Every structure is written in structure tokens, then in C-alpha cells.
């Protein structure tokens, strides 16, 4: 038998690692264990599949098990890894359909188990009719439930971006939707003023938003199904179906049991090459922690963009190459109802927590020249370090074609640029695309003025 790579988890991180390793080392035996029904799928597309914007489940699958097999990878579907023995260098597996069990030896192991939705420890949380959304099979289950006749009222617990995307999807299906969140504004990764705009857009879509009120219990009917969400303030929100949108935590149970070291943030600890510190054991994706390039802290950021890159890096290294994952800067984008929102770098709260002293500037402008048909509102907020003027964070909220501008600012932050440098950048302009002063440049100018005013006031 040749060298053998075993991969636990066959989605973004695991699938990328397996493909890269095999491509670089064609004689490598590669086995993927995937407990679900799909490989290399887009969980990010689930809300659009639920709403019907995307109609075909197959469209969400980038690489089927058959395609992986055609590339020489042995894919074991509906097969869960239930233990890792680092001394014997084997994994124990169980076939979820037949109940068959066995062990598989490995020389290299990629741990790519993703994350699990957070479930608040409240009464009734395990009742029928309460759903988390993480993998494609969860999307299929939710779609099937929604297609059941009696579902009319949906309560989403948690107003993070996934919760809101699911809420919107249910609303598009014509359901009565309530989102409950204990914060004063939804999507807590944004500053509160952006959160307030998001809240307005959500309510504008006819979704009921209950804020500053957490979930205290799920009321369960005599049939064992969830019938309402009870909030901390005692409100009872009737529900035929409850969706959890409280965020996720890294799926590290197997790693912890096996003795693969975890980091300070709770994810599997890895170095820049995605090595865990245990010889021949690698990890990638939602289950690992990454270095935040601005705060210097170890963070768990569950995003497909990182999972794919990290899987690729692990695969290249396993296949005999050299690659590194350089860390994250907190870039994310979402569309909530008809509002786009994006962020990069640190939010105000994160910058404060990281010990930065900063100024903040926000500008309201338009996505195209003000006179051009279709020009839509856009707000760009920047936070810049006091004195140095280094851009620490940016947030954009607006209508169509607003939010993708965040990528330019992500590059600025990545390259440690100051707002002074940014305001003179040679960005593109023509009336159908931007005002002559792009909103990004105006925001940089404002931030620069704030830095200057702060220095003058010393
Ligand atoms: C609704 C939704 C919307 C999202 N939108 C975005 C977005 O717009 N942009 C973005 O960047 N990210 C988005 N994400 C996040 C993104 O989908 C994840 O970050 C990404 O899928 C992580 O990839 P992964 O391979 O690390 O983990 P996962 O995709 O979770 O894959 C892990 C796989 O491992 C399998 N597995 C776990 N344990 C075992 C075991 N013991 N044995 C066998 N198999 C196992 C699971 O079945 C799963 O298929 C979204 C996620 C969701 C749920």
C-alpha cells in the first residue's frame, strides 16, 4: 500500500485538501469520509435554495462524489468518523445507513469537520420543529419542512447574517417571519449604526424583528413539536417552525477526544501551513482558528472563503509543495433584503478590544453619479488609527452595487495603508459606476480630516 491520506469532512476545506494533494501526488491514496449526502457543496447557497431563487440542489454542488472518484479519490458517503487513534494512526468509522463499522489507516490526516450551529441551553431546544442550518442536508430538511402544508409562522432565533438570510428566504416563500435577537441591532459584527440600517431593511420586508430580547425557552405542544418561542421578557412568539441562527462553533469534539491540540479560541490550533503540531495531522476550515492580522489574536471565522483557501494550502503541503495561509482581516459581505452590507478589518468594538486608539468617519453618497438613473444610497464608514492614520476597519451599507467596494478597502488594510494614501488612489470612474469622487475616496478624505483634527487638538 502507498502513502494514504484520510480526510474527515468532504465539503469546502476537506474537498479542496483532497483534490490538491491528489493532483500534486497522483500516487497518493486519498479517502474522504463524509457523513452527509453531498460533497463540495455551497452551504452559502442554502438560503437562496430555500427561497427558490436557486431551484436545483445540484446547482449548489461544485463536485459530486462521482466527480471526486473520477479524479481518483475514494469517497465514503454517509460514513461518519467516530474516533481518531493517533498512536495506531487509524480512524474509526461507521456507515450511517448499514451500521457497518471499521477502521482506516492513515499516514496523513486532514481534519475538516466544519462547525456546528449553536444551540442555547434552554428548555424545549431539542423539540421537533427546531432546526439548525449548517450543511446541505440541513437545507434539504428545512426545505422539506417548509413544503409541509401547515407551516405558516417561522421564528428565527438569532439575527446574525445567516439568520437574516434564512428569514428573508422564508418571507419570500410567503411565510410570517419573526426574528428574535438579544442585541439592540442585528448582525453584531457590524457597528450599531449599520445594524440599525439593516434592521430597517428587514422590517421593510415585512419581517417582525424583536430586539434586545433573548430566547428563554421553546414552548412545546402536546405533539412534541415546538409551538412558540418564549423570550426573556416573557413574550410568546407562535411558531410552526423554529430556525436557529445564533452562529456556529468549531466542530472539534473528535479532535479534542483524540488529543489534537485546540487553540485559545476553541478551534483546532494550526500553523500557517495548516499543521496541527501532531505529525502528519492537518486541519482546515471552520473547525480551525486563524490569526487576525490586525488584532494579532487567534480567532475562529467560519467562512467559506477561508475554508477553501485553507484546504488548498493543506493539500499543497501534503502533496509535497509549500503553501501558507496568511491569516484573516475580517472581510465579510451579505445582502439582507434589498440592502447590501460589508465589512473588513476591525469594527469599532473590535478595535477597542484590541487596544487601538482610533477616529471614525462616515459618509453618505451614491453608488453611481447622483444624476445617473439607478443611483442608490451608500454609506461608507472608516476607522483609522489616531496619529498614524492607518486604516483599521471599514463598513459599507447601501443598495445594489454598493457593498463589493469593500474589496478595495480590504486590500488597503491588508497592505497597511493610511487613509491619506487611500484618498489619492487611482480608482475607476464613469457616471454609470460611481460619482467622480468614489464614496470610498470621500470616506478616506473624511477619515483623514478626522485624523488631522485629532492631531491638531493635542
Ligand atoms: C446558510 C449559510 C450561509 C453561508 N453563507 C456564506 C457566505 O455567504 N460566505 C462565506 O464565506 N461563507 C458562508 N457560509 C459559511 C460557509 O458555508 C462555511 O464556512 C464553509 O462551508 C466551511 O467549510 P468547511 O469545509 O470547513 O465545513 P463544512 O462546510 O461544514 O463541511 C464539513 C463537512 O464535514 C462533515 N463532517 C463533520 N463531521 C464529520 C465526521 N465525524 N465524519 C464525517 N464527516 C463529517 C459534514 O457533514 C460536512 O459536510 C455560510 C454558511 C451557511 C450555513
pLDDT at 398: 97
Residue 286 CA: which ligand 1 atom is closest?
Answer: 26
pLDDT at 149: 73
Residue nearest to atom 46 of ligand 1 (CA): 9
Give residue-wise pLDDT tens across range 204-223.
999 999 999 999 999 999 99
- How far apart (Å, rounded) are the C-alpha atoms in residues 152 and 240? 6
Give residue-wise pLDDT tens across range 44-98.
999 999 999 999 999 999 999 999 999 999 999 999 999 999 999 999 999 999 9
The CA-to-CA distance between both ends of the chain, in Å, stands at 71
CA distances to 33, 60, 66, 69, 417 from 38, in Å: 11, 10, 10, 13, 42
- How far apart (Å, rounded) are the C-alpha atoms in residues 178 and 257? 38
Mean of the pLDDT values across residues 226-243? 97
Give residue-wise pLDDT tens across range 193-209.
999 999 999 999 999 99
Q: Which domains does the chain carry?
A: 4-115+249-318 (3.50.50.60), 119-246 (3.50.50.60), 332-453 (3.50.50.60)
Kindly write down the DSSP assignment for every residue of 56-124, as one continuous string. -GGGGBSS-HHHHHHTT-EEEETEEEEEEETTTTEEEEEETTT--EEEEE-SEEEE---EEE-----TT
- How far apart (Å, rounded) are the C-alpha atoms in residues 311 and 284? 5
328 contacts 300 by C-beta, under 8 angstroms: no
Mean pLDDT (the chain) is 96
Query: Ligand 1 centroid to 132 CA: how many Å?
Result: 12
3 state SS of 17:
helix
Q: Check pLDDT > 90 for residue 1.
A: no
- How far apart (Å, rounded) are the C-alpha atoms in residues 73 and 75? 6
Residue 266 burial (C-beta neighbours within 10 Å; 0-12, 13-18, 19+): middle
- How far apart (Å, rounded) are the C-alpha atoms in residues 410 and 425? 14
Q: What percent of the chain has pLDDT over 70?
A: 100
pLDDT at 369: 97
What is the band of 152 on the pLDDT scale with cuts at 50, 70, 90? very high
Give residue-wise pLDDT tens across range 347-384.
999 999 999 999 999 999 999 999 999 999 999 999 99
Residue nearest to atom 30 of ligand 1 (CA): 114
Reduced to 3 DSSP states, what percent helix, strand and coil does the chain have, rounded to the nearest 5?
30, 30, 40
Residue nearest to atom 23 of ligand 1 (CA): 12
For residue 71, count other CB atoms closer than 10 A to its CB: 15
Residue nearest to atom 29 of ligand 1 (CA): 11
313 contacts 323 by C-beta, under 8 angstroms: yes
- How far apart (Å, rounded) are the C-alpha atoms in residues 306 and 285? 6
To test the pocket of ligand 1, the residue of 9, 80, 111 to mutate (highest count of ligand atoms within 8 Å of its CB) is 9
What is the band of 38 on the pLDDT scale with cuts at 50, 70, 90? very high
Query: Ligand 1 centroid to 16 CA: how many Å?
Result: 13
pLDDT at 431: 98
Q: Check pLDDT > 70 for residue 20.
A: yes
Query: Ligand 1 centroid to 301 CA: how many Å?
Result: 12
Residue nearest to atom 35 of ligand 1 (CA): 9
33 contacts 76 by C-beta, under 8 angstroms: yes
User: How distant is the alpha carbon of residue 189 from its chain centre?
Assistant: 11
CA distances to 37, 219, 240 from 224, in Å: 27, 10, 12
| Residue 177 bridge partners (DSSP) | 154
To test the pocket of ligand 1, the residue of 13, 43, 246 to mutate (highest count of ligand atoms within 8 Å of its CB) is 43
The yes-or-no answer on residue 170 being catalytic is: no
Give residue-wise pLDDT tens across range 98-149.
999 999 999 999 999 999 999 999 999 999 999 999 999 999 999 999 988 7
pTM of the predicted model as reported, rounded to 2 decimal places: 0.96
Active-site entry in 44, 170, 337, 412 = 44
Residues having CB within 6 Å of any atom of ligand 1: 8-14, 33-36, 43-44, 46-47, 80-81, 112-115, 133-135, 162, 251, 254, 285-286, 302-305, 307
Residue 39 CA: which ligand 1 atom is closest?
Answer: 49
Amino acid at each position: 500500500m502507498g502513502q494514504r491520506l484520510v480526510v474527515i469532512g468532504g465539503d469546502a476545506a476537506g474537498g479542496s485538501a483532497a483534490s490538491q494533494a491528489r493532483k500534486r501526488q497522483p500516487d497518493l491514496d486519498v479517502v474522504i469520509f463524509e457523513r452527509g449526502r453531498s460533497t463540495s457543496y455551497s452551504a452559502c447557497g442554502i438560503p437562496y435554495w430555500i427561497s427558490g431563487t436557486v431551484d436545483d440542489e445540484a446547482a449548489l454542488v461544485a463536485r459530486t462524489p462521482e466527480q471526486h472518484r473520477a479524479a481518483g479519490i475514494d469517497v465514503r458517503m454517509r460514513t461518519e468518523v467516530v474516533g481518531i487513534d493517533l498512536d495506531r494512526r487509524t480512524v474509526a468509522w461507521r456507515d450511517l445507513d448499514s451500521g457497518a463499522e471499521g477502521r482506516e489507516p492513515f499516514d496523513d490526516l486532514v481534519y475538516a469537520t466544519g462547525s456546528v450551529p449553536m444551540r442555547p441551553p434552554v428548555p424545549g431546544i431539542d423539540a421537533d420543529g427546531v432546526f439548525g442550518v449548517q450543511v446541505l442536508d440541513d437545507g434539504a430538511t428545512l426545505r422539506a419542512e417548509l413544503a409541509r402544508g401547515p407551516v405558516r409562522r417561522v421564528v428565527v432565533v438569532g439575527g446574525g447574517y445567516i439568520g437574516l438570510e434564512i428569514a428573508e428566504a422564508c418571507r419570500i416563500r410567503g411565510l410570517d417571519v419573526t426574528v428574535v435577537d438579544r442585541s439592540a441591532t442585528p448582525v453584531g459584527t457590524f457597528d450599531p449604526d449599520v445594524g440599525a440600517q439593516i434592521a430597517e431593511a428587514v422590517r421593510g420586508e415585512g419581517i417582525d424583528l424583536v430586539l434586545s430580547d433573548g430566547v428563554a425557552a421553546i414552548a412545546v405542544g402536546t405533539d412534541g413539536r415546538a409551538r412558540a418561542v418564549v423570550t426573556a421578557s416573557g413574550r410568546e412568539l407562535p411558531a410552526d417552525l423554529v430556525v436557529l441562527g445564533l452562529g456556529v462553533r468549531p466542530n472539534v469534539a473528535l479532535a479534542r477526544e483524540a488529543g489534537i491540540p485546540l487553540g485559545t479560541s476553541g478551534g483546532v490550533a494550526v500553523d500557517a501551513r495548516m499543521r496541527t503540531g501532531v505529525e502528519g495531522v492537518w486541519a482546515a476550515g471552520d473547525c480551525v482558528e486563524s490569526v487576525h492580522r490586525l488584532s494579532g489574536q487567534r480567532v475562529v471565522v467560519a467562512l467559506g472563503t477561508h475554508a477553501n483557501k485553507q484546504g488548498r494550502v493543506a493539500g499543497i503541503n501534503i502533496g509535497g509543495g509549500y503553501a501558507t495561509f496568511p491569516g484573516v482581516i475580517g472581510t465579510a459581505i451579505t445582502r439582507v433584503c434589498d440592502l447590501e452590507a460589508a465589512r473588513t478589518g476591525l469594527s469599532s468594538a473590535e478595535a477597542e478590544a484590541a487596544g487601538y486608539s482610533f477616529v471614525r468617519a462616515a459618509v453618505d453618497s451614491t453608488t453611481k453619479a447622483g444624476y445617473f438613473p439607478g443611483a442608490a444610497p451608500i454609506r461608507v464608514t472608516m476607522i483609522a488609527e489616531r496619529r498614524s492614520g492607518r486604516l483599521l476597519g471599514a463598513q459599507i451599507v447601501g443598495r445594489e452595487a454598493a457593498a463589493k467596494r469593500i474589496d478595495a478597502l480590504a486590500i488597503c488594510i491588508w497592505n497597511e495603508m493610511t487613509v491619506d494614501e487611500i484618498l489619492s488612489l487611482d480608482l475607476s470612474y464613469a457616471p454609470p459606476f460611481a460619482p467622480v469622487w468614489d464614496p470610498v475616496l470621500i470616506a478616506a478624505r473624511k477619515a483623514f480630516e478626522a485624523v488631522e483634527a485629532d492631531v491638531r487638538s493635542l
